[in-house]
Amino acid sequence: MKTCDLAIVGAGSVGLPAALAAARRGLSTLVLDACASPGQGDNKHAIGGVRATHSEPAKIQVCLRSMRIFSEWRERHGDDLGLRKGGYLFVAYRPQDQRMLRDLLVIQKAHGLNIDWAPPERVRELVPGISPAGLLGGTYSPDDLNLSPLRCAAAFHGAAVRAGADFHFRERVIGIDVADGRVQAVRTDKDTYATRNVLNAAGADAAAVGLMVGIELPVFPDMHEAGVTEPVQRLFDPLLVDMRPTPGSTNCYLHQNSENRIEFCLTPDPLIPGINRESSSAFLPMIARRMIDLMPCLATIRVRRTWRGCYPQTPDGGPIVGSAETPAGYHYAVGMCGQGVMLGPGIAEDIVGLITEGRPVTDPGLFDSFRLNRDFGKTEKLK
């Protein structure tokens, strides 16, 4: 039987950086994925925003670490990730959004985030075409990033292979063998691999991979759509988040990427459970109205395509990361809630720390907010 120290289920936003981190720590690492190449699950459906602008301190710390890894990547490895340091701008048109954003500044600054309140005139400088009617201001975090998820997937895969990780694509995990309270092997539709550690990084399939060892992971995929325009002149730098709810959506967000194309997305209201990745006819008219209301200058720009992917949601909007007591050797980094690209590199260091040393890199007191047995009743404000 073939053997490895760690078998990772999923070659996506978490599995790829975890494979790199594990291989660098000297673990013989095998990554298994049913898709044909890295990042072909829901990683490629992301629009590439990377922010540490969260309301949860652990996520702030993890994403600051991810941002450092992304920012240093080209110098260290030579890959162009399509990275731009444009920042994030959460704009407020409603008094309740203004109060919430201002209140969060205390937590965000206390945990090292470079962020401040931008009055309306500063918002208009950052986004010259934004609608001024009712604009109250916003929070601006200039160090936040945007990048290409596909380029990142290819880069992490290449680095992990060079570090010694082994990847088996077109190979679906169908079972995990447990004996004497410990993981013993992982079975696929092609082979069986002896291992004492399995990492569930299966994205939308995380709950099913949890049940293979009798663990219920509250990860429930829902469907989100996104799109991209033709390239146009540079109009704005920040990733812009409009927090106003409208019929059919709770918010919308957009940025202009390194190729000067505008990528856009919204959060459906109500959420649409499931894993149907076929685009709908309702999305583009809905978000086009929102975007033109927010930035009238976008009205004549042509959309090139739209797509749909899955957000592996948790009840409170936070990831679930840890190691099971039983069976020993079973680890999980799941429920990224559509933020896998930004969380992945930072979470990877935590989970490999848990596997090799029994503790995460993130402050353990903060890391407790990722535990499986936490109270899921508190919802993150900027999820």
Domain of residue 43, CATH code = 3.50.50.60
Examine the domain organization and report whether 307 and 227 are in the same domain.
yes
296, 312, 328: which is the final residue of a domain? 312
Q: For the chain, how many structural domains are there in total?
A: 2
> How far is CA 364 from each of CA 57, 172, 173, 235, 293, rounded to the nearest angstrom?
12, 34, 31, 42, 44
Domain assignment present for residue 71? The answer is no
pLDDT given at position 56: 95
Residues 118-156, buried b or exposed e (16+ Cβ, 10 A)? bebeebeebbeebbeeebbbbbbbebbbbbbbbbbbbbb
**Tens digit of each residue's pLDDT (9 = 90 or more) over 62-106:** 999 999 999 999 999 999 999 999 999 999 999 999 999 999 999
Domain assignment present for residue 334? The answer is yes
How far apart are alpha carbons 375 and 90 in whole angstroms? 27
Nearest alpha-carbon partner for 84 in 306, 259, 343: 259
287, 312, 337: which is the final residue of a domain? 312
How far apart are alpha carbons 309 and 336 in whole angstroms? 13
pLDDT given at position 380: 87
Domain of residue 255, CATH code = 3.30.9.10
Here the tokens at position 312 are 């592996």
312, 330, 358: which is the final residue of a domain? 312
Q: What are the backbone dihedrals phi and psi of residue 351, each rounded to the nearest 5 degrees, phi first?
A: -70, -35
* 8-state DSSP, 189: S
Nearest alpha-carbon partner for 104 in 55, 57, 58: 55
Examine the domain organization and report whether 36 and 130 are in the same domain.
no
Block residue for tokens 């990377």: 50
- pLDDT higher for 19 or 383? 19
DSSP track, 316-347: TS--EEEE-SSSBTEEEEE--TT-HHHHHHHH
Band of residue 229 on the pLDDT scale cut at 50, 70, 90: very high
How far apart are alpha carbons 278 and 292 in whole angstroms? 25
Residues composing the chain: 383
Q: What are the backbone dihedrals phi and psi of residue 57, each rounded to the nearest 5 degrees, phi first?
A: -55, -40
Residue 383 has pLDDT above 90, yes or no: no
Examine the domain organization and report whether 40 and 187 are in the same domain.
yes
Which range marks the domain in which residue 240 is found? 83-146+220-312
Residue 35 has pLDDT above 90, yes or no: yes
Examine the domain organization and report whether 303 and 157 are in the same domain.
no
Examine the domain organization and report whether 23 and 170 are in the same domain.
yes
Distance of alpha carbon 186 from the chain centroid:
26
pLDDT given at position 77: 97
Domain assignment present for residue 379? The answer is no
pLDDT given at position 378: 86
pLDDT given at position 270: 96
Examine the domain organization and report whether 262 and 163 are in the same domain.
no
